[in-house]
Amino acid sequence: MLARDARFVHLYSCGMIRPLDGMLVADFSRVLAGPTSAVLLADLGARVIKVERPGAGDETRAWGPPWAGSSSAYFEAANRSKESVALDFSDPSDLALARTLADRADVVLENYRTGALERFGLDAASVLERNPRAVYCSITGFGSTGEGATMPGYDFLVQAVGGLMSITGDAGGEPRKVGVAMVDLLAANHAAMGVLAALLHRERTGVGQHVEVALLSSLIASLANQAASYLATGAAPRALGNRHPSIAPYETLRCRDALLAVAVGNDAQFAALCGVLGHPALARDPRFATNPARVEHRDALQAALEGLLAVDDAGSWATRMLGAGVPAGTVNGIDEALALARRLGLEPTVDVGPEHPPQLAHPLRYSGFTPAAPTPPPALDEHGDAVRAWLASAAD
Catalytic residue, from 88, 184, 257, 299: name it.
184
- What integer pLDDT is reported at residue 69 of this predicted model? 74
pLDDT at 29: 97
Answer yes or no: do 187 and 259 share one domain: no
Looking at residue 261, which CATH number applies to its domain?
3.30.1540.10
* Residues with pLDDT less than 50, the chain: 1-3
- Is 358 part of a structural domain of the chain? no
Q: Is 176 helix (H, G, I), strand (E, B) or coil?
A: coil
The answer to whether the CB of 137 falls within 8 A of the CB of 189 is: no
Measure the CA dihedral 33/36/40/41, to 10°.
80
The strand pairing partners of 329, in sequence order, are 261
232 domain-assigned: no
Q: Do 273 and 320 lie in a common domain?
A: yes
In 3D space, the residue among 95, 87, 125, 90 whose CA is nearest the CA of residue 108 turns out to be 125
257 has catalytic annotation? no
Q: What is the CATH number of the domain that holds 134?
A: 3.40.50.10540
Give yes or no for a contact between 156 and 230, defined as CB atoms under 8 angstroms apart. Answer: no
Residues of the domain holding 187: 2-222+366-395
Cα distance between the two ends of the chain: 28
One domain, residues 57 and 172: yes
Same domain, 108 and 203: yes
Confidence at residue 355, expressed as pLDDT on a 0 to 100 scale:
87
Q: Tell whether 77 and 161 lie within a shared domain.
A: yes
Say what the pLDDT of residue 1 is: 39
Other beta carbons within 10 angstroms of residue 216's beta carbon come to: 22
Number of domains observed in the structure of the chain: 2
Quick: pLDDT tens for 287-305: 999 999 999 999 999 999 9
What is the reported pLDDT for 244?
A: 95
